[in-house]
């Protein structure tokens, strides 16, 4: 299966009423489960036929805590108005990288101007490095993902203030 096939499968599952789908071939095993609004997906080589699965230990119930008067929580800081920003989202599941290798500078930094088609990051999926291009011209306002972290399909990566 290609990354595009897996992405189409996830899209199909998200539009259907299914909560879980398992596909297994001799080379590949894919398990997709829906938890609320996010769709985590995993893929791994098929395990041997006689694989042993250890039972999961059950955690003891939490100990009762003494009654403590609740403390006053400080008011939340006002959120910045992001309604005029455009979000660049991940087109696939994979690992997010801000540069092509650790020795080179990031493709974009906060405050940089981008144009349509400019590479803003790389997402590695199944040992393939996919350049992600900006779909909008503007200024990078915020990077929403840490370098070398996993991202989900349609996860926001950057906020861009359109020009």
- pLDDT tens for each residue of 89-144: 999 999 999 999 999 999 999 999 999 999 999 999 999 999 999 999 999 999 99
Predicted model pTM: 0.52
140, 112 in Cβ contact below 8 A?
yes
d(CA 29, CA 10): 14
The pLDDT of residue 149: 95
* Number of other CB atoms surrounding residue 69 within 10 Å: 5
d(CA 151, CA 124): 10
The label of the residue with tokens 């789908």 reads 21
> What stretch(es) of the chain map to CATH 2.40.50.100?
86-162
E strands of the chain, at which residues? 20-24, 29-33, 41-44, 86-89, 94-97, 113-114, 119-125, 128-133, 138-143, 149-151, 156-162
DSSP assignment of 56-114: PPPPPPPPPPPP-PPPPPPPPPPPP--TT-EEEE-SSSEEEESSSSTTSPPS--TT-EE
More reliable by pLDDT, 75 or 92: 92
The pLDDT of residue 148: 94
Over residues 7-28, mean pLDDT:
72
Grade residue 83 by pLDDT with cuts at 50, 70 and 90. Answer: confident
The pLDDT of residue 137: 96
pLDDT digits (tens, 9 = 90+) for 32-46: 776 654 445 555 555
The pLDDT of residue 39: 47
DSSP 8-state code for residue 75:
P
Give the mean pLDDT of the chain. 78
The pLDDT of residue 69: 52
Tokens of 148: 């070398």
Task: Please give the CATH number for the structural domain made up of 86-162.
Answer: 2.40.50.100
pLDDT over 90 percentage in the chain: 47
């Amino acid at each position: 299966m290609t990354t595009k096939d897996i992405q189409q499968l996830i899209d199909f599952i998200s539009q259907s009423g299914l909560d879980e789908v398992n596909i297994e071939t001799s080379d590949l095993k894919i398990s997709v489960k829906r938890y609320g609004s996010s769709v985590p997906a995993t893929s791994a080589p098929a395990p041997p036929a006689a694989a042993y699965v250890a039972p999961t230990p059950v955690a003891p119930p939490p100990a009762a805590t003494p009654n403590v008067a609740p403390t006053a929580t400080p008011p939340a800081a006002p959120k910045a108005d992001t309604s005029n920003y455009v979000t660049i989202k991940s087109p696939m599941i994979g690992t997010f990288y801000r540069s092509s290798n650790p020795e080179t500078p990031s493709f974009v930094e906060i405050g940089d101007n981008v144009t349509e088609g400019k590479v803003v990051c790389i997402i590695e999926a199944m040992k393939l490095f996919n350049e992600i291009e900006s779909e909008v011209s503007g200024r990078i306002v915020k990077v929403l993902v840490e370098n070398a972290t996993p991202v989900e399909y349609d996860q926001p990566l950057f906020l861009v203030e359109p020009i």
